[in-house]
Amino acid sequence: MEFFAAIARTPGKSLCRALSSGESGSPDPVRARAQHVAYVDALEEAGLAVTLLPPLEAFPDSVFVEDTAVVLDEAVVLCRPGAQSRRGEVGAMQRDLRALDFEMEVIRPPGTIDGGDVLRVGRRFFVGLSKRTNQAGFEQFSAIAARHGFSTLGVPVAAGLHLKSHVCLVDRRTLLVAPILADEPAFADFSRLVVPENEGYAANCLALNGVVLMPTGFPATAELLQRRELSVKELDVGEFRRADGGLSCLSLRF
Ligand code: CIR
C-alpha cells in the first residue's frame, strides 16, 4: 500500500443536504471543513502529494470523491454512481483528472458502480454488488480491468452502503472486516481482523505508506491494529459519518 498522491475535494456548505441513511442529524459544514483539513494534513504527513479541489455546491455529496473514479495505475475508470443525484460529480472529476494524463475508461448505462465498492489488493479488485453497484457495472468494470491486467471478484454486500463500508486492507495480507464479512469466502486467502459488532464503522480505515488512519472513538479496533504492530493515527470524521461517509471515501489515492 504505497501511495504517492491523492485527490480530495473541500466540502461545501451543501454537505448538510448529503444523502444519508442515518438518524444522527445532518453534517455541520463548518465542523466538516475542520475535519477535512485535518484529513488532508494526515494524507500529507503520510507522504502523499494532495491535489485539493474546490467545493462543488451543486453536488452535496461531492466531498466523497472516491465514488467517482477508480485508478488502475496508468488508467482511470470514471464511475457511474448508483445514486442519480451524484452522477454529475463525475464530469467534474473527469476534467480535473485530464491534467494528470491518465487513460480514461468509462462505465456506461445501464451499468452503475461507486468507487466505494471497489477494493484493490495488488493486481486484484474485489467489487461489492450493493445498492449502488449493479451487475452490469461490475461486468463493464471487470472487462476494463482485465484489459489492464487486473482480475476481479464480485462480493455481495447485503447491508450498509458499500463494500468498503465493511472492509479495508491494513497490510499486504490482512483485512480489517466488520462482522458481516467475517466469513466471506472471497477473502479466504487473507488473514482477517474482525472488528467488534459495536465498532462496525471502524472497518473503513485507510492504510497509507506504513500508517493506518482510523476514525476516533473505536478503542477495541485501535487495540486490534496496535496488537498487529500497525502504526495507527486516529482522525475525527464524525461529520462525514452522518452522511454515511468515512476515511476512504474522502480521497482518491494512487
Ligand atoms: C452517499 O450516500 O453516496 C454519500 N452520502 C456517502 C458516500 C460514501 N462513500 C464511500 O464510502 N465511498
249 an active-site residue?
yes
* Interval 86-139: pLDDT, tens: 999 999 999 999 888 899 999 999 999 999 999 999 999 999 999 999 999 999
Taking 90 as the threshold, does the pLDDT of residue 220 lie above it?
Answer: yes
Q: Contact 182/237 with Cβ under 8 angstroms?
A: no
Average pLDDT of the residues in 10-35? 95
Q: What is the mean pLDDT of the chain?
A: 97
16 an active-site residue?
no
Q: Is the CB of 243 under 6 A from ligand 1?
A: yes
Grid cell, residue 254, equals 494512487
pLDDT of the residue at 24 = 85
DSSP letters, 54-75, are PP-TT-TTTT-GGGGEEEETTE
Atom of ligand 1 nearest to the CA of 86: 3
Taking 90 as the threshold, does the pLDDT of residue 164 lie above it?
Answer: yes
Residue from 36, 114, 239, 253 to probe ligand 1 pocket by mutation (most atoms less than 8 Å from CB):
114
pLDDT of the residue at 93 = 96
Average pLDDT of the residues in 58-65? 98
Taking the C-alpha atoms of residue 221 and residue 242, their distance in angstroms, rounded to an integer, is 20
Three-state DSSP class for residue 244: coil
pLDDT of the residue at 119 = 98
16 half-sphere exposure, CB direction, 13 A CA radius: 5
Q: Is the CB of 163 under 6 A from ligand 1?
A: no
At 43, the pLDDT band (50, 70, 90 cuts) reads very high
Candidates 79, 168, 205, 249; catalytic one: 249
Q: Is the CB of 171 under 6 A from ligand 1?
A: no
Residue that wins the pLDDT comparison between 25 and 114: 114
Three-state DSSP class for residue 156: strand
pLDDT of the residue at 11 = 98
pLDDT of the residue at 1 = 73
pLDDT of the residue at 22 = 83
Average pLDDT of the residues in 58-85? 97
Give all strands (DSSP E) within 1-60, no chain letters.
Answer: 5-9, 49-53
